[in-house]
Chains A and B, each alone.
Chain A
Amino acid sequence: MNIINTKDLSKEYSSKSFSKDKILALNNFSFEVEAGEIFGILGPNGAGKTTLIKILLGITHRTKGEINIFGKEINDESYKLKVGYLPENHKFPNYLTGEEVLTFYGKMSGLNKTEVKKRSDEFLKLVDMEKWRKTKIKKYSKGMLQRLGLAQALINDPELIFLDEPTDGVDPIGRKEIRDVLESLKERGKTIFLNSHLLSEVEMICDRVAIMNKGALIRSGRVDEITLIPDNYIVHCSDLDESIMSKLLNNFKSTVHGNNEFHFKSDNIEELNRLIDFLRQNNILIRGIQREKNTLENMFINLIGSQN
């Protein structure tokens, strides 16, 4: 089941006040997010990621297109009862304590006093901010504010959580803890929509990603699928002697990486089978054959580079 479904979503901005010149922030953007997945949105600065999130939350208005969230076109605010949001560079009223922030945003999310109290305790503990709950947030560090922001996004026990740069300003240990929180939310069946510049992080926790550039969707899919390098294979095998290596280089256009591994490229599956036959005839034990993968970061850089 799709939790989010958009079709031909577009957003135009005026380049200046009273100007007729338009900037296309989103261009016929269609995508869907399935229930229970962690979905990552990637793109260079100005690609339209934050605009997309803001449109989905009604903070910015779309110029055209359809948006379905929880199976319904978003016409009013009621769907927001089941949504949590951590904006990039969020700003809470700095005269509040951590606990008061959660109380205020909990009530603003439709919770009553008892629910707010119970969930504040639960989520302050989850983000390891219990001992700072009575401290005014103006004394918080960036990392502490980010943790509190995450607790705020979860306070109403939402089914769908939008996180815009959730680990911004958080140290490596804190980032790991936030990743663990996201994993546990996923286990509880929550759907997470994540915008992060940290591609290694996205690669670690996202099930699917969409890559956008200049307001358009340029690729989407499962992380393990889109990082695959087409027709490239890595073969792990028993020791290769000089003559075998030479034949692999000359006959199969392979590149050898040590005595037990070589890379083979072919778009013809019969050729792959010929290679296997060759190895078996020469008593080479095949330990494994896997599709060659790129890192998400390399794939992203190559993809965006080819677009610009």
Chain B
Amino acid sequence: MIFSTLVLSTFREAMAKKIFLGFFAISTIIILIFLFLINVDSVEGMVDMVGASGEEGIRKLVIGFEVAMIDISYLLIITFCLISVSSFIPSMLEKGNIDLLLSKPISRTNIILAKFIGGVLLVFISLIYLIGFVWIILSSKSGFWHFPFLYSILWLTLSFAVIYSLIIFIGLISQSTILSILVSFFLVFIVCPILYVREATIFSLVENSAAQFVINFFYYILPKPSDINKITTDIITGEAVNSYMPVFSSVLFMLAVLSASIFYFKKKDY
């Protein structure tokens, strides 16, 4: 009861800060753009043309839309989510607020877990709305009901959860929303993409084996949202997934960072 109250309070906070509204506004705009796109004459014509080439043509077209959708979701939704939820922990830690929370019969471990679950559920529900609607629109229009696209809700939520665990940790230590956003953005949009292409690009520039070892070390210990995004795309397109290591190592990173957050929060005096 107490735990669920705290989880729901995250939703209440998201409503009050217009996060939900923003999320649904962006999602709705994307959905409307999709609706518009698949109804314009040129696309209708393309669908007819592809339809004439058989089921395989329709399948390819739908999957193409879906992959584009994943990239859009990853960029727009994850970015928006990271900015939105970064304030959850610093606002909880404000003097006068944290004192009250800690005086209630809930353990510090459960406070962190409730905040984590609340944020992840928020993004999960929002992605159900966005991906679900796009899937219904594409499927009903094309007649091709491609269920693997729906799995992307889970993969995108996982990507978010991994980064959110880091936001929680930075928020706890720094009590700063700005720093949480900056670090998570730096990691998601600079470090991880660079590490993702390390073998194809970086290693051709950095031939020193010690330096390559360091780069590999960071690749393996840090979360891998770019890799998870690639796995999501592979699943949607039906290509074989090379390795699920990025998923496991990202989940391990998330668990380690969450444990570190709980440990720090339990020790901290407020």
Contacts and interface: CB of A to CB of B under 8 A. Distances in A.
Interface of A: 13, 54, 57-61, 76-81, 83, 85, 87-93, 95-96, 104-105, 107-110, 112, 152, 162
A95 B13 CA distance: 8
A59 B102 contact: yes
A81 B99 contact: no
B96 interface: yes
B105 A81 contact: yes
B221 interface: no
Given A61-B269, A93-B97, A112 B1 contact: yes
A54 B99 contact: yes
B96 A89 contact: yes
Contacts of A108: 2, 5-6, 101, 104, 106
Residue in A83, A85, A93 whose Cβ sees the most chain B Cβ within 10 Å: A93
A7 B94 CA distance: 31
B98 to A, nearest CB: 8
B9 interface: yes
28 contacts: A54-B99, A57-B102, A57-B103, A58-B102, A59-B102, A59-B270, A61-B267, A77-B107, A80-B104, A83-B103, A85-B99, A87-B103, A91-B94, A91-B100, A92-B100, A93-B12, A95-B12, A104-B9, A104-B12, A105-B100, A107-B2, A107-B5, A108-B101, A108-B104, A110-B2, A112-B1, A152-B100, A162-B103
Contacts of B97: 90-93
Nearest to A116: B5
A80 B107 CA distance: 11
Nearest to A77: B105
A79 B6 CA distance: 19
A78 B267 CA distance: 19
A92 B100 CA distance: 9
A88 B95 CA distance: 9
Given A95-B13, A95-B16, A110 B96 contact: no
Contacts of B101: 108
- Give the interface SS of chain A, mostly helix, strand, loop or mixed: loop
A150 to B, nearest CB: 13
A60 B269 contact: yes
Contacts of A87: 96, 99-100, 103
Contacts of A58: 102-103
B104 A105 contact: yes
Nearest to A89: B96
A255 to B, nearest CB: 50
A93 B8 CA distance: 14
A60 B267 CA distance: 9
Contacts of B13: 93, 95
Nearest to B92: A93
Nearest to A82: B105
B2 A60 contact: no
B1 A109 contact: no
Nearest to A55: B269
Interface in B89-147: 91, 94-107
A78 B6 CA distance: 17
B27 to A, nearest CB: 22
A173 to B, nearest CB: 25
Contacts of A95: 12-13, 16-17
Contacts of A78: 105
Interface in B1-41: 1-2, 5-6, 9, 12-13, 16-17
Given A87-B100, A91-B95, A110 B269 contact: no
Nearest to A162: B103
A54 B105 contact: no
Closest 6 CB pairs of A and B: A95-B16, A91-B96, A80-B105, A85-B103, A107-B5, A87-B99
B5 A77 contact: no
Given A90-B100, A93-B97, A54 B107 contact: no
A71 to B, nearest CB: 17
A159 to B, nearest CB: 13
Contacts of B96: 87-91
A13 B106 CA distance: 25
A30 B33 CA distance: 69
A60 B100 contact: no
Given A59-B270, A60-B269, A112-B1, 4 more contacts: A59-B102, A77-B104, A90-B99, A105-B104
A265 to B, nearest CB: 47
Nearest to A111: B1
B177 to A, nearest CB: 15
